[in-house]
Structures are given as structure tokens and as C-alpha cells.
């Protein structure tokens, strides 16, 4: 029996994880479920999965949940706050942590899981973008097992040799081909991009996801964050990673070897596949995903990314090459800009402009510890917010 804590159980990845878990009650048991403030959903999850702990970040929401849990006669203990998030991942009875909080908020508890040597199913890519070296050092120091859940990275992990040791050249790998759908605005005339709404940005052609990552997909910042994520996971340089726009989202990424072989992982665009892979690794279990019908897919297209249309992708490559605090600054500025766009304070095309201004304003410094990352993150948020005030007044 594998004992699991889920960070962000009420989100898109969290609910997909519970869907897979529910299919295999003989294999998985939930120790803790956590969420920001969604009382109703977390309560229903507690009724179904009977976790030992439930954490609500928000204190008032925790109080409400505690009352409902008690009325229902459940034995789940309800905790609240940041420290509780960390507490429920480092418990000795926890084997596996699904890291599925969105954004920088996921960094501390995910890092705590790494320091405690857990098996980490990593959906929260922002952890690697912000603090890649700190996080990877923690993983190797504790002997934690790190399995990527992001579909592209999960595909690359599957296409690399089993036990890949972080040396692409020694493994005979020429490069990594990271696929991207191109999002909902792949063909939208540039003149119309200024006026697109959050609703349009969140209507992804192939994937159903949370709102932040949906906007990131529309701007292709998601692919930029994923290039940085691949850098840390696979010890690949910016030049080793080629983004390939593949609108059907059937090939989830590829690895090209020096002998000319190219290995790909394919499947329907359903996150339960990489989640089930991570949960059962190294075995395979049913994920509830419909079989891939290649006759229905029929055609697959591939085009090079348009760095002018998607300047966020260019900014991410730039930040990866600048290294140090630059990716944390990129991530923080993006989070603030995306929140302002979702709040209708700025337009879609303001997002890259704000990020570029923030990157230009802050000198790059080395990252030696978590505080270096958190300092850069805070500075970047402050400057991004100033830019938004200038636009929205």
C-alpha cells in the first residue's frame, strides 16, 4: 500500500490524481488532502477518501471545514496555514507526495517533501523554474525519487534510458524535442491579440486545466517554463531543447538519439496518463484513459515556434541562459501579470511587456540558497505590480 499526500487536491491535477487513486483502492491510500479555500470540494473529498489530515491554507475556510467534518462524524483532522502544508508531506507514514499547488505557493511544501526524501510526483513546475538548483540538490542529498508529471517531461522521462544519469551525451542523446500545442491563439491575427479576453485565453483546444496554466499556454510562457523545467530535470542546456509546435497534442514529447532514432511517447491528452505512470512507477496501471485511436488522429503536424508572436517563450529562453535569479524573476513577473490579466486590469499583450521590463530592471545574481530565490521573487513582484499600476489607473 502506497500512502499519499496531495498538495492542491481540489485543482485540475489534484482531482485527476484522486480519480486514478479511486480506481486502485488496493494500491493507494490518502494520508492528507490540501487546498487553498475550496471547502465544499475538499469536504466531499474527505468523505470519499477519509484522509487522516485535511489542510486549508485559509484559516476561516479551515474552521468551516472542521465543523462539517465533525458533523459528518469523520475522523479527519483539519489543519490550516503554510506550516501545516509542510507538516502533512514530511510525516513518516507518507511515501508519496503529489505536488500540484499552482505557482510559487507550491515551492516550500514541495521542497520540504524533497528534503524528507519522499517520492515526489512533480506537477508544480514553478518549483523547478524558481529554485531548480536548490530543489535538485535537496533531492539528491535526501535520495528522494523525483518523477515528472508535466505531460511533456513525463514523455521525455519515458523516452530516455531507464536510470538516466543526467548525462545526455553519454546516453547517446542528441537533443530533446519538447512539443507544444501552440494554445488557442496559434492562428489568431496579431492585430486581434490585444483584445483577447481571459475566457478566450482559458479555452484551450486540447487540455482542460487551471486558469493560470491555461493563460500560460495561450502566451506560450507555459512552454518557456517547461524548457527551464527540462533543463533541471534532465541536465539539458537551452541549446539541447528544441520546442516543436504540434497542434494535435498526441505526441507528448520526443528524444532524438545520435544514431538517428527518435523515441516519442503518444497518448490522448489526458493528465491521468502521466499521473498513473508516476503513481505506479515502475509498473503500469489502468488510468481510465480512452485508448488512442490513430485512425481518428489521422494527421499530425509540426511547425517551428514563432518567437515574435510568442515573445514569452523567447523571454524564458533568455532567462534560462542568464541563469541565477533570472528564471525566478521571470516566473514571479509572469504570475503577477497573469493574475492582473485574469482580473481584467491589463491586456494579454501587456503580459510579455511587463515581464521584459522586470527582467531588464533586476540584475541577475547567483542562487546559493532558498532566501536568494525568495528575495528575487519578492523584488520582481514589486516591480511587476508597479508596472501594472502604471497601466491600470
132 interacts with, out of ligand NAD, Mg ion, none, CB within 5 to 8 A per kind:
none
- HSE (CB half, 13 Å, CA atoms) of 65? 31
Nearer to ligand NAD, 336 or 366 (CB): 336
312 interacts with, out of Mg ion, ligand NAD, none, CB within 5 to 8 A per kind:
none
Going by their DSSP bridges, the two strands 2-7 and 96-99 should be labelled as parallel
- We find the least distance from the C-beta atom of residue 157 to Mg ion, in angstroms, to be 13
What cell does 68 get?
462539517
- We find the least distance from the C-beta atom of residue 56 to ligand NAD, in angstroms, to be 9
10 interacts with, out of ligand NAD, Mg ion, none, CB within 5 to 8 A per kind:
ligand NAD
Nearer to Mg ion, 271 or 339 (CB): 271
CA separation for the pair 299, 301 (Å, rounded): 7
- We find the least distance from the C-beta atom of residue 260 to ligand NAD, in angstroms, to be 30
38 interacts with, out of ligand NAD, Mg ion, none, CB within 5 to 8 A per kind:
ligand NAD
Q: Is 372 in the site for Mg ion (CB under 5 A)?
A: no
Nearer to Mg ion, 42 or 225 (CB): 225
CA separation for the pair 154, 72 (Å, rounded): 39
Q: Which residues contact 32 (CB under 8 A, 6 or more apart)?
A: 5, 6, 51, 52, 53, 54, 55, 88, 89, 91, 94
- We find the least distance from the C-beta atom of residue 127 to ligand NAD, in angstroms, to be 8
Instruction: Name 393's bridge partners.
Output: none
- We find the least distance from the C-beta atom of residue 170 to ligand NAD, in angstroms, to be 29
Nearer to Mg ion, 224 or 352 (CB): 224
- We find the least distance from the C-beta atom of residue 304 to ligand NAD, in angstroms, to be 23
- Which parts of 186-325 fold into alpha helices (H)? 190-193, 198-201, 211-219, 221-234, 272-280, 294-297, 311-322
Number of other CB atoms surrounding residue 272 within 10 Å: 20
Residue-wise DSSP of 78-120: EEESHHHHHHHHH-TT--EEEE---GGGGHHHHHHHHHTT-EE
CA separation for the pair 136, 330 (Å, rounded): 19
Nearer to ligand NAD, 57 or 90 (CB): 57
Q: Closest residue (Cβ) to Mg ion? A: 150
Nearer to Mg ion, 41 or 238 (CB): 238
Q: What does the chain come to in residues? A: 393
Nearer to ligand NAD, 126 or 372 (CB): 126
- We find the least distance from the C-beta atom of residue 361 to Mg ion, in angstroms, to be 29
Beta carbons of 118 and 144 less than 8 angstroms apart: yes
- The piece of 88-96, 149-157, 251-259, 286-294 that touches Mg ion (CB under 5 A) is 149-157
User: In the chain, what is the greatest distance between 2 CA atoms, to the nearest angstrom?
Assistant: 64
100 interacts with, out of ligand NAD, Mg ion, none, CB within 5 to 8 A per kind:
ligand NAD
Give the residue from 276, 338, 372, 328 showing the smallest Cα distance to 16.
276
Give the residue from 167, 148, 168 showing the smallest Cα distance to 158.
148
Residues that bind ligand NAD (CB under 6 A): 8-14, 35-36, 38, 57, 100-102, 105, 123-126, 150, 207, 209-210, 213, 271
Beta carbons of 262 and 242 less than 8 angstroms apart: no
Nearer to ligand NAD, 207 or 307 (CB): 207
- Print the binding letters for residues 150-189 with Mg ion: x by CB under 5 A, - otherwise: xxx-------------------------------------
Nearer to ligand NAD, 169 or 332 (CB): 332
311 interacts with, out of ligand NAD, Mg ion, none, CB within 5 to 8 A per kind:
none
Provide the binding-site residues for Mg ion, judged by CB under 5 A: 150-152
Amino acid at each position: 500500500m502506497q500512502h499519499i499526500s496531495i498538495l492542491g487536491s481540489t485543482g485540475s491535477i489534484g482531482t485527476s490524481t484522486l480519480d486514478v487513486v479511486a480506481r486502485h483502492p488496493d494500491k493507494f491510500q490518502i494520508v492528507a488532502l490540501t487546498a487553498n479555500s475550496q471547502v465544499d470540494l475538499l469536504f466531499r473529498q474527505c468523505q470519499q477518501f477519509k484522509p487522516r489530515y485535511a489542510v486549508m491554507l485559509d484559516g476561516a475556510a479551515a474552521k468551516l471545514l472542521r465543523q462539517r467534518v465533525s458533523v459528518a462524524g469523520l475522523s479527519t483532522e483539519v489543519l490550516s496555514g503554510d506550516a501545516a502544508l509542510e507538516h502533512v508531506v514530511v510525516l513518516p507514514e507518507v511515501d508519496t507526495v503529489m505536488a500540484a499547488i499552482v505557482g510559487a505557493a507550491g515551492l516550500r511544501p514541495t521542497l520540504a517533501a524533497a528534503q524528507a526524501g519522499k517520492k515526489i510526483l512533480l506537477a508544480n513546475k514553478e518549483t523547478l523554474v524558481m529554485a531548480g538548483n536548490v530543489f535538485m540538490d535537496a533531492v539528491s542529498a535526501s535520495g528522494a525519487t523525483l518523477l515528472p508529471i508535466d505531460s511533456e517531461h513525463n514523455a521525455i522521462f519515458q523516452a530516455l534510458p531507464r536510470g538516466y544519469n543526467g548525462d545526455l551525451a553519454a546516453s547517446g542523446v542528441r537533443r530533446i524535442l519538447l512539443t507544444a500545442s501552440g494554445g488557442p491563439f496559434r492562428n489568431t491575427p496579431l492585430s486581434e491579440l490585444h483584445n483577447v479576453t481571459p475566457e478566450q485565453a482559458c479555452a484551450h483546444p486540447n487540455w482542460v486545466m487551471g486558469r493560470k496554466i491555461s493563460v500560460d499556454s495561450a502566451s506560450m510562457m507555459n512552454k518557456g517554463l517547461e524548457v527551464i523545467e527540462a533543463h533541471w530535470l534532465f541536465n539539458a542546456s537551452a541549446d539541447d531543447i528544441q520546442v516543436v509546435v504540434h497542434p494535435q497534442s498526441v505526441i507528448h514529447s520526443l528524444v532524438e538519439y545520435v544514431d538517428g532514432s527518435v523515441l516519442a511517447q503518444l497518448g490522448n491528452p489526458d493528465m491521468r496518463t502521466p499521473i498513473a505512470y508516476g503513481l505506479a512507477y515502475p509498473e503500469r496501471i489502468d488510468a481510465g484513459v480512452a485508448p488512442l485511436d490513430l485512425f481518428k488522429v489521422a494527421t499530425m503536424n509540426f511547425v517551428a515556434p514563432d518567437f515574435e508572436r510568442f515573445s514569452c517563450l523567447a523571454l524564458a529562453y533568455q532567462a534560462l541562459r542568464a541563469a541565477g535569479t533570472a528564471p525566478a524573476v521571470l516566473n514571479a513577473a509572469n504570475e503577477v501579470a497573469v493574475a492582473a490579466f485574469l482580473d481584467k486590469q491589463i491586456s494579454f499583450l501587456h503580459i510579455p511587456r511587463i515581464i521584459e521590463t522586470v527582467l531588464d530592471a533586476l540584475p541577475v545574481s547567483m542562487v546559493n540558497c532558498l532566501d536568494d530565490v525568495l528575495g528575487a521573487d519578492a523584488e520582481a513582484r514589486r516591480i511587476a505590480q508597479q508596472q501594472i499600476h502604471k497601466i491600470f489607473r
